[in-house]
Structure 1
Amino acid sequence: MRTVTRQATEWLAAASTDPRACKRQWHGETGIAVLACGRFWDVLSVPEELGVLALDSLLCTPQTPGPALADTVARRIGFFLPPDPDGRWIGSDVRYLGRDAWITVPAPHRAMGRLRWLVPPDGAGTLFVPAAVELALQQALLTLAGQAGARERCPVCGTPAAAGALLRPADSRT
């Protein structure tokens, strides 16, 4: 196992209540483990169409990206962010997983069933910068709203395209 993959496995497993059991689960039949949010990271989960556009934008910046996980069945993208005790992101169909929430993940070097790492953990604990994710999501919403102009409704939330609000943390100053 490469050093980066080993470090990523150790970092990710550390969020488990039992890191050894977590690693056994990754090598077991299901290949997944359930990890706690709120200690090392929180996860912002958004609809796939929005998340893919935002991730494309984030990968074009000079900042090192944090982990991003796709759930291909639920059609959602999860961005791993620094823990935020308030976690007040607003937007239609946005889910913020912080303290007392759990997330199912495959090992950093694998894809299992419906779960795929779009950006695997790097082992150093790198996470997405919330302000950069906010900006990328706003840009993605504007792109989707522009595409929805012919349909007259936002494809993410269903509101009239001209009236759709931008996604942002609740305490954001824009």
Structure 2
Amino acid sequence: MQRVTRSGVQWLTRAAVDGEECRNLWRHNPRAPYALPVGEHFEVLVVGQELGMETFGQLRRRRMPAGPVLADWAARQIGFMLPPRSRGSFHRVLAGETSTPPAFRYLDADAVLVVPGPLTLSGDRYEWLCPPVGEGGPSSGRTTALAVMLAASADLIARAAHIGEVELHEAR
């Protein structure tokens, strides 16, 4: 069970178009997902589940800053919340890490993100892998860490798939 801290809930409800509506919903059903506008309070990098879980795992194992991370298990996608105005920095670092970036969507102004409620349980469609614990706060380190680990994780997954293909071919 992942739980969002009180200051994390405050940060999320400040991002809502109608913060009072969001607070009331979560007061009555803390597991309810809620749609938040992207751009002013945070931006989001969305990747496929396999790449997202590997990237998240690498960030955790190396004790690198991940920030809030959420999963949409039905869509098989992982979202990494980043500080506002991180797009340029993220793209620059990623371009420095790889000439073949993995598939991703970068959400900023005019996008909407469905976030899990403050209390998620295993098996919920939307789940916090790393819940917000306070202000999403500016952190260039978080943006850099995500870009570096995304490239490294994509490379690791590609290499592992290639090894599997070679072993399968040799077995024939």
Q: Quote the residue 1:75 is aligned against.
A: 76
Q: Deviations over 1:43-88 (max 9, x none)?
A: 0000110011111111123444300000101111100111227557
- Residue 34 of structure 2 aligns to a residue whose secondary structure is strand
Is 1:12–2:7 an aligned residue pair?
no
- 1:5, 1:109 within 8 Å by CA — same for their partners in 2? no
1:110 shift after superposition: 2.4
The residue matched to 2:51 in structure 1 has which SS?
A: helix
One-letter amino acid of the structure 2 residue matched with residue 105 of structure 1: V
Show the 5 A alignment for 1:1-174: 5-26=5-26, 27-28=28-29, 31-84=32-85, 86=87, 89=91, 91-111=101-121, 113-126=124-137, 129-149=142-162, 150-151=164-165
Give the unaligned 5+ runs of structure 2: 95-100, 167-172
Q: CA deviation at 1:131?
A: 1.2
- Assess if the C-alpha contact under 8 Å between 1:58 and 1:65 holds in 2: yes
Check conservation: 2:65, 2:142, Cα contact below 8 A. Answer: no
* Paired position in structure 1 for 2:97: none
Distance 1:65 1:118 in 2: 10
Give the whole-Å Cα distance in 2 for the aligned partners of 1:30 and 1:41. 21
Q: Report the TM-score when normalising by structure 1.
A: 0.75
Alpha-carbon distance between aligned partners in 1 of 2:128 and 2:31, rounded to the nearest angstrom: 16
Deviations 1:8-49 (A, max 9, x none): 111111100111101223334971211011111100000110
- Tell me if structure 1 keeps the 8 A contact 2:15–2:37: yes
Deviation, structure 1 residue 138: 1.2
- CA distance in 1 between counterparts of 2:152 and 2:86 reads 26
Q: Percent identity?
A: 35
Q: How many residues are aligned here?
A: 149
| 8 A Cα contact 2:43 2:86, kept in partner | no
Counterpart CA distance in 2 for 1:56 and 1:34 is 26
1:123 to partner: Cα distance: 1.4
Partner SS, residue 10 of structure 2: helix
Are the equivalent residues in 2 in contact too, given 1:42–1:96 (CA < 8 A)?
yes
Q: What's the RMSD between the two structures over aligned residues?
A: 2.6
Residue identity in the other structure for 1:151 = E
1:160 alignment counterpart: none
1:159 is matched with which residue? Answer: none
Q: CA deviation at 1:146?
A: 1.0
The structure, 1 or 2, with the larger RCO (C-alpha pairs under 8 Å, 6+ apart) is 2
Cα 1:58/1:131, change in 2 over 3 Å: same
